[in-house]
Each structure stands twice: as C-alpha cells, then as structure tokens.
C-alpha cells in the first residue's frame, strides 16, 4: 500500500528535503536504503515517506505512523523523536488517542474510524516535555494490509518553517499581531504577540477559523469582507471589530488584510492586526460629549423660551399697571433659568467616565452635599457609614440632586417608627438622647431624609409622599418632572454619575428593616438605592463601596 500524493503535506519540496541539503543523490539513496533496512523489509506496496528525515534530524517537522482503528500505534516512522521527543519503540503498542489533547480526541477518533468525511484533522499531541504541539494529520481512507491500520501523516503547524529565523525574531518582539490564513479561511500561523494582545498561547488557534472569535454584532460584516478578500487577490480591506480574548473579554482590533502570491506556500492571506481599544474608548467619549452638547443646545433653544416669555410678560404688566407684584413671578422664572442652565451644563460637561478615583467615607461626602442642597425645614439622618472608592466630586453632585428632589417633592409625612437614636440637624450638629427619633424629627423639621450604607451599596430615602407608581419608570428620563418649578434633569444627572462609576441606581418602595440600623427611622416615602460591588469583586483601580 502506498501513500497517495493527496495525503502528503502541502509543504514545498525544498522544505521537505531540508535534511538532505548538501548531500549527493547517491548519499541520499544510501541514506534511504539504510532507513528502510532499519525499519524492516519492504516491498513495492510498502509505505514511503515524502522526506528522508531521521531521528537524528533536529529539523524534522513531520512523521508517519500506522494506527489501528481503536488508536493503537502499529508503526512509528523515524521522525517521531524529532517531533514528539519520544523514541519510536516507546510509541509502538500505545494508544495514540492517549497522547492527543482531550479536547481534540473526538475528531481524531472519527477520522481513524472512518466516521468523519474530512480526513484532515488539526489537533494537539503531547510532547515528551509534557506540553502539547499542534499537528495537522492526514488519515488514509483505506486500511494498510501490512499493519491492519490506517496510515497517518502528521505535520507540525505551530512552528511554520516557511518563516526565516530573522523574520521570526522580528515578529517575536513586535506589538502587532500577524496572522496567516489558508484558502479555507483557517489559521496557519499566529505571531508570538498573540499572547500579549489576546492572551492565547501561540499556536492554540492554528487550524481554527478566526471568525469564531469575533463579536456576534460584528461577525456578519467581517465575514463578508473576509471571504471577499479570500476570493479577490486585489482586495485589501481594513476592518475594525471586537475580538474575544482568552479571558472572555472583548478588545477592539484594527486589521488590514493582504493577499499572498500564489507561489507562497504559507497561506492565502496575511492579516496585520493591532489593539485599538484605547482609541475606540476615546472616540466613544468624544461622541458622548458631542451628543451632550447637541442635547444642551437643543434644550436651551426650546426649554428656556417659556420662562423667558414669563419674564417679559411680567415686566410688561408691571409697567402697564404700575404693580410690582407680577415681578415676583419673573424672579421665580429667573431662578428656574439659572438652575436649568447649571444642570444642563453639568450634563454637557461631565462625560461618561471618572477621573482619578479616590477613597473616602460616605458620611463625609453626604454631609458636604447636605450643606449645599439641604433645607432648614428638613432633617438629615445618617445611618451606617461605608468606605467608598470613586469620584468624590461627582458623587457629591449626585447626592445634592437627590437631596433637592426630596426637599422639593417632600412634605410633612408620618413618622413610622421610633427608638433611641443619634439625630443630626441640617447643620451637621449631633444631639444624642434617649427620646425617639420620631419625636426629635417632628420637633426639628417637616421632612426627614435618611442616608445609610446597605449590603448592596447605599440608599437615600425620605418620609415624603413618595413617587406615584405610574411614574417610577420615568423618573430618570431627561426632562421628566411632575413639578412646575422642576427642570427634570436632576435625577438624570444622578443616573449618569452612578453609571459612570459602573454602578446602578433604582427605586424601591421602602427601605426595609434589614437595610437600616435599628436606631434609624424607616421613612415610607421615596427611596433611591445605589448598588455597587465591594472591593473584592472588582480590580484595585475600579470604583467600589466597602460596607
């Protein structure tokens, strides 16, 4: 039985015969005869290898073997030690599937048992060093009568010898990723930078299609241009897309594809890729900022017209009637314009990221925000404290907007529970007593605002009338308000500040007993809950709240 040409490696003859360079034809014939005599008697139907590699040839990158349907090795070629690092005799009688990587055993087994129609399998085989090498195995369709098994020709594909050593060293220190794919769209070579850029071990993607690693939202677009480049040698597309890393994350790659000449045996396409994730992040921030500026311009041009009209009408009425009472309406309109402009400028400037997060106590920033946005007619009660890593200035801004929302929409509400407590006045002074918080709050103010750390993050609640259930889904939408004096952008600012930290904010019907310390009142009005991970759940540089 002879090995058919279609079963041989597709490597060029100059590579296959590298071990014979510098020898005369007579020397090569004597070497071939010697190997045949060492491996046993031969006949016209015996297996012949396409390259005269020997166990002593350190450059051999392929070997031939006869393997039974159940995986038993019946014959091992002389190049086995050069590829796998084991002696031929040690391989005989063993199960080849035991040496195949567990994730690759099924396709190899199917090829040996004739279950698979594709007789070419790219898989990993264990080396004597304990690691794995990638090989491309071609399995003969028919059993070899001499051995009772199938002939398997295996060629290493994790180290492609078509790349000169000086170029290989250049690629090893390059930051760009170089990929070579064949006419079927499968990877033939990945440069060493794949470990730094994507986290994959070099050679681990050989034999696979790169399209399987592309983000689902980008796959259709990239697939179309990828196969167009395979079919059209003149095509040289440049694409940006998301690619899955070894850790399961996504990075943005910019890839430029070039067709290789037909006489180049290493593959069909050469793809140069680089990580452009930072650039894409800057582009997103710029786009986000431009959208905010556009929104600010649109709002200013529309929402400011009504209060300005009120001012003009009030002033005109005052002149006609010589009555200054209407001027009060104008003053209120001016105040609303001032606040509206301030909040819109905040939305336009703050962007989607945070700068230089720091660590601070929740109670400290809460009292700073209350000093700015609190009311003499309301009482602040701080429950459990927490350690926070984040943007202190922007978190204070979010708390100020939550406090203004409570003061504006709150009213005298019923106090629900009592107990010994430490009560805080709006100015930050502390009054310790054994009387109930209920009596202290009623004596001090019409509204109580509670801030406390929880197991999930922290909450801000008040004992006002609460939020109508039909409005709960809309309170964070830009421009939504139920107050004639409100701007509708305060809670939108809160949402954006929280989300830029990577946290979430939502509404809860009531705080619940488990979320607050025993001495803190349980207000039954609006309750905003911020949920954030703890320091152990995120990276050291990421925002967190440590309860």
Q: Model pTM?
A: 0.40
Residue 426 pLDDT > 60? no
Enter the DSSP assignment of 214: B
In sequence order, the β-bridge partners of residue 121 are 137
Does residue 346 have a pLDDT over 70?
no
3-state DSSP assignment of residue 197: helix
pLDDT (average), residues 127-154 = 86
Kind and range of the H or E run holding 168: helix 165-173
How sure is the predictor about 440, in pLDDT bands with cuts at 50, 70 and 90? very low
- Estimate to the nearest angstrom the gap between the alpha carbon of 46 and the chain centroid: 54
pLDDT tens for each residue of 495-543: 888 988 999 999 886 655 567 888 888 888 889 999 999 999 988 788 9
Q: Tell me which residue of 116, 97, 115, 96 sits closest to 105, measured CA to CA.
A: 97
pLDDT surpasses 80 at 428 = no
Paired residues of 154 in beta bridges: 63, 137
- Find where tokens 């015996």 sit: 46
The reported pLDDT for the residue numbered 153 is: 93
Strand segments, DSSP code E, in 364-404 are 378-382, 387-390
């Amino acid at each position: 039985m002879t090995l058919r040409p279609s079963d041989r490696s597709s490597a060029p003859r100059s590579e296959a015969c590298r071990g014979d360079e510098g020898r005369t034809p007579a020397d090569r014939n004597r070497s071939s005869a010697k190997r045949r005599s060492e491996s046993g008697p031969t006949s016209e139907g015996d297996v012949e290898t396409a390259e005269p590699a020997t166990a002593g040839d350190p450059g051999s990158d392929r070997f031939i073997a006869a393997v039974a349907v159940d995986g038993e090795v019946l014959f091992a070629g002389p190049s086995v030690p050069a590829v796998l690092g084991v002696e031929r005799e040690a391989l005989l009688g063993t199960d080849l599937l035991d040496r195949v990587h567990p994730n690759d055993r099924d396709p190899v087994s199917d090829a040996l048992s004739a279950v698979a129609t594709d007789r070419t399998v790219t898989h990993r085989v264990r080396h004597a060093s304990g690691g794995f090498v990638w090989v491309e195995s071609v399995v003969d369709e028919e059993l070899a009568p001499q051995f009772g098994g199938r002939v398997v020709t295996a060629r290493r594909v994790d180290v492609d010898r078509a790349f000169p050593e000086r170029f290989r060293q250049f690629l090893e220190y390059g930051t760009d990723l170089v990929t070579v794919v064949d006419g079927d769209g499968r990877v033939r070579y990945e440069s060493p930078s794949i470990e730094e850029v994507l986290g994959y071990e070099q050679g681990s993607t050989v034999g696979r299609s790169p399209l399987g690693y592309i983000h689902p939202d980008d796959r259709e677009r990239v697939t179309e241009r990828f196969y167009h480049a395979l079919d059209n040698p003149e095509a040289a597309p440049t694409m940006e897309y998301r690619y899955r890393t070894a850790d399961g994350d996504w990075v943005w790659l910019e890839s430029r594809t070039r067709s290789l000449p037909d006489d180049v045996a290493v593959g069909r396409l050469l793809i140069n890729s680089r990580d452009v994730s930072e650039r894409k992040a800057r582009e997103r921030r710029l786009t986000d900022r431009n959208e905010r500026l556009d929104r600010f311009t649109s709002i200013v041009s529309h929402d400011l017209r009504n209060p300005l009209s009120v001012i003009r009408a009030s002033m005109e009425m005052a002149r006609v009637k010589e009555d200054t009472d209407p001027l009060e309406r104008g003053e209120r309109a001016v105040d609303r314009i001032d606040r509206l402009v301030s909040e819109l400028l905040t939305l336009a400037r703050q962007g989607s990221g945070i700068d230089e997060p720091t660590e601070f106590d929740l109670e400290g920033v809460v009292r700073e925000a209350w000093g700015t946005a609190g009311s003499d007619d309301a009482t602040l009660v701080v429950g459990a404290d927490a350690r926070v890593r984040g943007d202190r200035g922007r978190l204070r801004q979010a708390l100020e907007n939550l406090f203004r929302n409570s003061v504006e929409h709150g009213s005298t509400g019923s106090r629900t529970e009592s107990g010994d407590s430490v009560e805080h006045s709006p100015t930050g002074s502390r009054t310790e007593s054994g009387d109930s918080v209920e009596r202290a709050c009623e004596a001090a103010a019409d509204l109580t605002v509670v801030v406390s750390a929880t197991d999930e993050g922290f909450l801000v609640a008040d004992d006002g009338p609460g939020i109508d259930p039909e409005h709960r889904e809309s309170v964070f939408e830009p421009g939504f308000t139920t107050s004639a004096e409100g701007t509708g952008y305060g809670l939108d600012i809160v949402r954006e500040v929280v989300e830029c930290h990577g946290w979430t904010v939502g509404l809860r019907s009531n705080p619940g007993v488990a979320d607050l310390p025993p001495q803190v009142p349980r207000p039954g009005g609006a309750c905003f809950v911020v949920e954030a991970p703890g320091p152990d759940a995120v990276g050291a540089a990421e925002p967190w709240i440590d309860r």
